[in-house]
A and B are shown apart, each in its own frame.
Chain A
């Protein structure tokens, strides 16, 4: 089927305001008499609160309100379990825990007021290592202890599998804590109208989930809370649950004035959610010919002080621990432990970057042990259409092998031994590969999207959706889907979003689901509207409805394009007949709960696949690694907008490179030692290698025009591809991220002996 708009690299429809500096992000909005809010956070990683004294701060002129735990109607929240407090009352569990919030006439005054609040604490013993936290002797962070979750996958019998294996290879791997580092910090403004309705303007990625959570916390009906989303300066999972919203809402309710809060960069590191750090152990049994027979994986994820998305991220980690390979016997155990550290939340890849860093470097170890080419090992075990995943789900539309072959060809893998020609006495070259299987949508749980469309009498169409574009370009992609389905130009589509009072429900731009889930909702709603138009067109052209097609805003008879009527005319007729063209549709990615004991079931609707190959150079004198090129082959189902897909993949590679070589939150006794972009290193333009993106399209039957998703998967294979390439270059195995020059140099020295 040929498409006119889908598959084209149409310029993003929101770009003009952005390049002119006219897009309004939360802090760009202006409100008269706005107050500035600031949080007082805990002084200790683990302590009892004896007393909070706000009296001095209250006396400071210009301070309008101070709130503590007693001012919060329902003082609990949490995306999965309500184990987190809005304002701590008797106990703090990490340094980011807010204890009080202030609203004052200026930022400076709010900061002053915070310093005037005195809190008396009784320090408690704390625990900062997830393995220690699970021991019986560890200080208890929550009443129920530090054990937050255990997820399992059971397939076949690993014991037997290991017995019949020719070789057993074991590895352990450690991953770091990372911060989302969207360049726009968390920012929000709350206003309250005369009827007590609270309006919040902040860049939440889950406005509907947040609205329900806020209604609960504030003890208000959902209709009394409205979330308006300004332009969003990046998400990456960092805005997937409420953060500053309850404080500004409570302070605005108390002062009857608009209240704004902007988190400092330091607060982003200390008080926002982060990427969970993992300890992972791999053991794989393999036949001499490379067939994977059995695998046992154990992992411990550090939840930090509260559970947040920890359990569902861990579930994804467990499901993906066998990689994109067919392994008949698998046993995976994942544990989630509380520690007195920043809270792990959702972050691009959601449990996958950690396991794939371990899994894909482990695969290279297996290949090297067998004396086998690392790509050959992967090809031999690759999942194919019709195969079952580790949870027993039968796969369709698997473009995995294609991604391996295309990437290998583009990277000239067969010539990879020739890289030595480019080496010097002190620089060594290497190439490494890593692969990926990644699901689209939520793990196990419902994550619906809805859309509402109306076709106007001039042939244009409004499309209301509830999924904000957080930078990835989803608004453009959804407009393309709508235009293609209706059969009109993209200029005739207007996407309306960003207001919970008027938007239809959406789970949000998370879990790489918008193109697939919201895209389907938009497509189905548009198809219904189109049906209304076709009915009147069939009548006025006196043909059967099946004979009609739409293109470029015109409904015409197939094979006789001169017999036609414009969409505008048809819409006007509908209107005059008393049936204005409007339709709604919803879509929920088909998935189901896993069996808790075996992990068997269908946790996701579909999966994407990818292969990346990194080429790099290691300076053996300094340990500095220069990534030269990355070839990235991604099966996305169908690229609705190839330029945007390329943008997602390159952006993801930047993310993965940061995880591989640069980024790590350094904590000592729960305190963040590098809470800024000077000491926490994000990739810059100088760190980026050349990137060759290869888009593989293996259409997904349940996706809009065959599309799946691409946002998260792109960063995951980058990290292990780089680690594998370092091994290829200099023969050292980094099993603790990130591979900093110090670590590389140390390993080189140890290897030399």
Chain B
């Protein structure tokens, strides 16, 4: 029988995480979500399925939204990762965070970090999305609580605010 507990070899990887360079030793079979959550202690990235089916673990890799449970950690070597912890902070919220707050786009909050990052990837790419584009952009992020509508409203509103601010 092949046991899983015996992979011990680790390799060093270096990447830019939320604007800062980090170095960490990882097992080759470790996924990015595990490195973020358990090694780097950034628990804002959630895990709902570990199979690429729910979107709770969404982060941005070189600006594109990815499921971090499907990315082997060595793959991010020399690349750039943005997690929810890097999106905004109290007093300096990202417009999407402000809009999520005001539109009651958050219930249990478990899908929220992934949702916000998928939304950011969309707005970075398409600053003035249509409703259909918003729906498509977050269609890989499951939310069991909200029924999505207040999330969609929040993203459209954030896009509008961005336009006004000229971002």
Which A residues form the contact surface with B (CB < 8 A)?
9, 11-12, 14-25, 27-28, 30, 60, 62, 104, 106, 108-109, 111-112, 115-116, 180-185, 231-234, 236, 264-265, 470-473, 643-644, 646-647, 650-655, 676-678, 682-686, 688, 690-691
Are A685 and B148 closer than 8 Å at their CB atoms? Answer: yes
Among A60, A183, A472, A473, the residue within 8 A (CB) of B48 is A183
Are B110 and A233 closer than 8 Å at their CB atoms? Answer: yes
CB of B18 to closest CB in A, whole Å: 11
Chain B residue nearest to A234 in the complex (CB): B108
CB of B163 to closest CB in A, whole Å: 21
Chain B residue nearest to A62 in the complex (CB): B5
Chain B interface, >50% SS class: loop
CB of B130 to closest CB in A, whole Å: 13
Taking CB atoms and an 8 Å cut-off, the chain B residues in 121-167 that contact chain A are 134-136, 138-152
5 cross-chain pairs, A with B, having the tightest CB-CB distances, nearest first: A21-B44, A471-B108, A21-B84, A18-B109, A233-B110
Are A686 and B135 closer than 8 Å at their CB atoms? Answer: yes
Tell me, in angstroms, the Cα distance from A442 to B150 when the chains sit together. 30
Task: Flag whether B80 is at the interface (Cβ < 8 A).
Answer: no
Are A678 and B111 closer than 8 Å at their CB atoms? Answer: no
Task: Flag whether B9 is at the interface (Cβ < 8 A).
Answer: no
CB of B108 to closest CB in A, whole Å: 3
Are B97 and A20 closer than 8 Å at their CB atoms? Answer: yes
Chain A residue nearest to B52 in the complex (CB): A678
Among B7, B41, B49, the residue within 8 A (CB) of A677 is B49
* Known contacts A109-B5, A185-B48: A677-B53 contact under CB 8 Å: yes
Chain B residue nearest to A653 in the complex (CB): B147
Complex A-B: 19 CB contacts under 8 Å = A9-B104, A12-B104, A16-B101, A19-B88, A19-B112, A20-B44, A21-B87, A25-B46, A28-B37, A28-B43, A30-B41, A60-B5, A112-B5, A183-B54, A183-B143, A647-B107, A647-B145, A650-B149, A652-B147
* Known contacts A11-B101, A19-B112, A691-B149: A684-B139 contact under CB 8 Å: yes
Are A264 and B84 closer than 8 Å at their CB atoms? Answer: no
* Known contacts A108-B5, A684-B142: A471-B107 contact under CB 8 Å: yes
Q: Which residues of B lie under 8 Å from residue A470 when comparing CB positions?
A: 108
Are B148 and A688 closer than 8 Å at their CB atoms? Answer: yes
Chain A interface, >50% SS class: loop
Q: How many residues on B have C-beta within 8 angstroms of the other chain's C-beta atoms?
A: 60
Are B104 and A646 closer than 8 Å at their CB atoms? Answer: yes
Tell me, in angstroms, the Cα distance from A255 to B97 when the chains sit together. 43
Are B110 and A183 closer than 8 Å at their CB atoms? Answer: yes
Are A21 and B53 closer than 8 Å at their CB atoms? Answer: no
Are A18 and B112 closer than 8 Å at their CB atoms? Answer: yes
Tell me, in angstroms, the Cα distance from A644 to B105 when the chains sit together. 10
Are A184 and B48 closer than 8 Å at their CB atoms? Answer: yes
Q: Which residues of A lie under 8 Å from residue B7 when comparing CB positions?
A: 108
Chain A residue nearest to B3 in the complex (CB): A112
Are B88 and A685 closer than 8 Å at their CB atoms? Answer: no
Task: Flag whether B68 is at the interface (Cβ < 8 A).
Answer: no
Tell me, in angstroms, the Cα distance from A471 to B56 when the chains sit together. 16
Among B47, B85, B107, B111, the residue within 8 A (CB) of A473 is B107
Are A24 and B147 closer than 8 Å at their CB atoms? Answer: no
Are B51 and A12 closer than 8 Å at their CB atoms? Answer: no
Tell me, in angstroms, the Cα distance from A182 to B142 when the chains sit together. 10
Q: Which residues of B lie under 8 Å from residue A652 when comparing CB positions?
A: 147
B88-101 vs A, Cβ < 8 Å mask (1 yes, 0 no)? 11100100010011
Tell me, in angstroms, the Cα distance from A185 to B138 when the chains sit together. 21
Q: Which residues of B lie under 8 Å from residue A684 when comparing CB positions?
A: 139-140, 142, 148
Are A650 and B150 closer than 8 Å at their CB atoms? Answer: yes
Q: Which residues of A lie under 8 Å from residue B113 when comparing CB positions?
A: 21
Tell me, in angstroms, the Cα distance from A22 to B49 when the chains sit together. 20
Q: Which residues of A lie under 8 Å from residue B87 when comparing CB positions?
A: 20-21
Tell me, in angstroms, the Cα distance from A30 to B154 when the chains sit together. 33
* Known contacts A108-B4, A234-B145, A691-B147: A19-B101 contact under CB 8 Å: yes
Chain A residue nearest to B113 in the complex (CB): A21
Most buried by B among A12, A677, A683: A677
Tell me, in angstroms, the Cα distance from A28 to B109 when the chains sit together. 13
Are A654 and B148 closer than 8 Å at their CB atoms? Answer: yes
Q: Which residues of B lie under 8 Å from residue A15 when comparing CB positions?
A: 100-101, 106, 109
* Known contacts A470-B108, A677-B49: A682-B144 contact under CB 8 Å: yes
Q: Which residues of A lie under 8 Å from residue B108 when comparing CB positions?
A: 182-184, 231-234, 470-471
Are A19 and B97 closer than 8 Å at their CB atoms? Answer: yes
Q: Which residues of B lie under 8 Å from residue A685 when comparing CB positions?
A: 134-136, 138-139, 141, 148, 151-152
Tell me, in angstroms, the Cα distance from A646 to B104 when the chains sit together. 9
Are B144 and A181 closer than 8 Å at their CB atoms? Answer: yes
